[in-house]
Amino acid sequence: MELIESPSDLRAALRGAGSVGFVPTMGYLHDGHASLVARARAENDRVVVSVFVNPLQFGPGEDLARYPRDLDRDRRVAAGAGADLLFVPHPEALYPAGFATRVEVGGPSEGLEGASRPGHFSGVATVVLKLLNLVSPTRAYFGEKDWQQLAVVRRVVRDLNVPVEIVGCPTVREESGLARSSRNSYLTGEQQTRAAVLARALRAAQDAHARGAGRAESILGAAREVLATEREVQLDYLALVDALDLTPLDAVTDPASARLLVAARLFGVRLIDNMPLVPEPQGASGLPTRQPGGTA
């Protein structure tokens, strides 16, 4: 696997590459990232993984400075999963002196993470668009753990006519149910096990709906009961939303297009998780058949 740092070298390496699969990451790769790379390897001629801790998506007081970084680990995981190129740009390569352009996204970026982390999705959209322009991939792969981010990226690609297929891939979880995340490295083993309360809460909400609950108050109430069993949970939000546009739902009319999302701080670490309201077969994508814009 080749490591590339400059955009010009990246373009040269991909010239005439055929189909290109792209996995953008902030590094500290784990099995969740590896699953994205493996999917890209199976569906494309060449696979590019980027590692870039994007300062634009971190707000004041967030963990930009201490975000875990380990390039040797990233190289091993990416190569082991089948990547051909590891793109590790320096910040000045993406944000040169005088950089003054940002992408602002409405719709799915509003509320939830958008409300809790002002400017976050503008930073995400800006760096993703820059990376898509540099790599020009056939397909780009994103984990469904960051569901709102996936929705925002899909909206950017649709609204700005970016010629790429965005592929959402199922969340990879620990045996406890905790969603894999680079930020899990901030937690001890015991803390990670206790943090799986987020996944248990979402499953309790799924169970409540399966038993006949149809209003958000009842569905989310079941999740809150589970969250209340862990004293370390400092809940940011718990929501039942439309899976595509992220608008809150008061009642469920189309269960297949409803999504449960949660964010909370546990042991000083902010974690997020999400699940479809109706459990999907293991390994299946949670993307509804309805597409952005209301088409089937």
| Chain segment 248-260, per-residue pLDDT in tens | 999 999 999 999 9
Radius of gyration for the chain, computed over Cα atoms and rounded to the nearest angstrom: 19
Average pLDDT of the chain, as a whole number: 94
For residue 170, pLDDT over 50 is answered with yes
Phi, psi (degrees; rounded to nearest 5) at 32: -65, -45
% pLDDT > 70, the chain = 95
Position 226 in a domain: yes
For residue 290, pLDDT over 70 is answered with no
Placement of tokens 């569906």 in the chain: 43
Position 294 in a domain: no
What is residue 127's DSSP assignment?
H
Q: What is the pTM of this model?
A: 0.93
Roughly what angle, to the nearest 10 degrees, separates helices 216-227 and 197-210? 150
- Residue 152's domain comprises 2-169
Position 255 in a domain: yes
- Domain harbouring 66, CATH code: 3.40.50.620
| pLDDT interval class at 280 (50, 70, 90) | confident
* Residues 59 and 17 reside in one and the same domain: yes
The pLDDT, as a whole number, for residue 294 is 35
Asked if 233 and 197 count as a contact pair (C-beta separation under 8 A), the reply is yes
Active site residues: 33
The pLDDT, as a whole number, for residue 286 is 53
For residue 284, pLDDT over 90 is answered with no
Mapped onto helix, strand or coil, the DSSP state of residue 270 is strand
CB-hemisphere CA count at 13 Å for 5? 4
The total number of structural domains that make up the chain: 2
* Residues 147 and 216 reside in one and the same domain: no
- Domain harbouring 252, CATH code: 3.30.1300.10
* Residues 40 and 155 reside in one and the same domain: yes
* Residues 76 and 192 reside in one and the same domain: no
* Residues 17 and 133 reside in one and the same domain: yes
* Residues 127 and 245 reside in one and the same domain: no
Position 241 in a domain: yes
* Residues 11 and 150 reside in one and the same domain: yes
* Residues 160 and 197 reside in one and the same domain: no
* Residues 141 and 270 reside in one and the same domain: no
* Residues 204 and 137 reside in one and the same domain: no
For residue 289, pLDDT over 70 is answered with no
Position 291 in a domain: no
What is the pairing mode between strands 139-143 and 85-87?
unpaired
Asked if 242 and 260 count as a contact pair (C-beta separation under 8 A), the reply is no
* Residues 231 and 196 reside in one and the same domain: yes
